[in-house]
């Protein structure tokens, strides 16, 4: 939903970033307003995942130039945990496994840390258990997941649901979902997309990083951006995604070059 009068939630200007000295992002401009859904598409190696990680504050990436404002404040000077507490959420393409740490303990620590930082009440284990079970229904997740180690032995689909569950708990203002559709079968895609749509409101925004049109059938974007060699080379509406699906990326990148 586009609300043109709203103040931008995220403003990215001329963002350049390197990893191990190799330039990956070469000048990205993007403005995201509350209520909007943006899809970032593009071929492998175009810099989509790097862009997500830079926004979330991954320490391996170095910002060489440009600025990023979140709710009008400089995001790049903040540590990753500060960004998360401020309301930036990254849904991982490959969520890491943490053997021995129960999902319940991890989710509660995360939830309470973020709540605390936002000046809200923390929940004790029993209260949290009620709360998280309610949220799990949204993603049709079995409560047994609470007692399992974080992501350990989860299937690809289960890991992605667990990511969206975290989004449901943390209620970010900006959710960046990196290839959330990869590894999902049709049913899981429907459930995960349903969850995201349910959580999306006029006050928050979603950036979807994806290869495929099929996710965008479920979560309909307001804008579609095509990334190529570290730049956004084309921006359009949702119909652009269909065109890309039909024609591939070549015509866009050639046109841009």
To another protein, the closest distance from the beta carbon of 105 in angstroms equals 7
Strand partners, 15: 28
Instruction: Choose between 95 and 183: whose C-beta lies nearer to another protein.
Output: 95
**In the complex, least distance from residue 130 CB atom to another protein, rounded to whole angstroms:** 20
Smallest separation (angstroms) from another protein to the CB of 228: 26
What is the closest distance, in whole angstroms, from the C-beta atom of residue 54 to another protein in the complex? Answer: 12
- Judged by CB, which is closer to another protein: 175, or 189? 175
Token reading at 87: 């309301």
Q: What angle do CA 247, 251, 257 make, to 5 degrees?
A: 160
Shortest approach of another protein to residue 158 CB, angstroms? 16
Angle made by CA atoms 224, 210, 78, in degrees to the nearest 5 = 85
Binding site for another protein (CB under 8 A): 53, 56-60, 79-81, 83-85, 89-90, 92, 95-96, 98-101, 105-106, 109-110, 113-114, 117, 149, 166, 170
Report the residue number, 97 or 185, with the smaller CB distance to another protein: 97
What are the start-end ranges of the E strands in 71-204? 73-74, 88-91, 98-102, 149-150, 174-178
Considering the complex, what minimum distance in angstroms separates the CB of residue 6 from another protein?
25
Q: Which is nearer to another protein, 100 or 119 (CB)?
A: 100
Integer angstrom CA distances of residue 123 from 23, 109, 142, 242: 43, 10, 21, 44
Is the Cβ of residue 112 or residue 229 nearer to another protein in the bound state?
A: 112
- Cα gap 169→167, rounded to integer Å: 5
The tokens for 216 are 């965008």
What is the CB-side half-sphere exposure of residue 135 using CA atoms within 13 A?
25
Here the tokens at position 180 are: 């959330």
Which residue, 55 or 240, is less far from another protein as judged by CB?
55
CA nearest neighbour of 141 among 171, 161, 117:
161
Phi, psi of 135 (to 5 degrees): -70, -30
Report how far apart, in Å, the C-alpha atoms of 164 and of each of 47, 63, 95 are: 23, 28, 11
| Closest approach of another protein to the CB of residue 107, in Å | 8
The residue among 90 and 196 lying less far from another protein, judged by its C-beta, is: 90
Token couple for 155: 């299937």
């Amino acid at each position: 939903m586009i609300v043109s009068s709203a103040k931008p939630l995220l403003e990215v200007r001329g963002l350049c970033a390197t990893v191990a000295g190799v330039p990956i992002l070469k000048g990205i401009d993007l403005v995201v307003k509350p209520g909007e859904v943006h899809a970032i598409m593009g071929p492998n190696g175009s810099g989509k995942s790097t862009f997500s990680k830079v926004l979330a504050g991954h320490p391996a990436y170095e910002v060489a130039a440009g600025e990023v404002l979140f709710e009008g404040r400089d995001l790049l000077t903040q540590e990753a945990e500060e960004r998360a507490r401020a309301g930036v959420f990254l849904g991982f393409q490959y969520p890491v496994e943490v053997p021995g740490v129960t999902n319940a303990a991890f989710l509660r620590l995360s939830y309470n840390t973020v709540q605390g930082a936002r000046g809200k009440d923390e929940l004790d284990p029993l209260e949290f258990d009620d709360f998280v079970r309610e949220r799990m229904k949204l993603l049709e997740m079995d409560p047994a997941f609470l007692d399992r180690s974080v992501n350990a032995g989860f299937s690809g689909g289960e890991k992605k649901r667990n990511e969206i569950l975290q989004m449901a708990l943390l209620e970010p203002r900006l959710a960046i979902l990196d290839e959330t559709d990869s590894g999902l079968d049709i049913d899981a895609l429907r459930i995960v997309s349903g969850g995201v749509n349910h959580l999306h409101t006029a006050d928050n925004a979603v950036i979807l990083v994806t290869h495929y049109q099929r996710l965008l059938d479920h979560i309909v974007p307001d804008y579609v951006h095509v990334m190529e060699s570290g730049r956004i080379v084309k921006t359009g509406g949702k119909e652009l995604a269909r065109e890309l699906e039909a024609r591939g990326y070549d015509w866009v990148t050639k046109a841009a070059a």
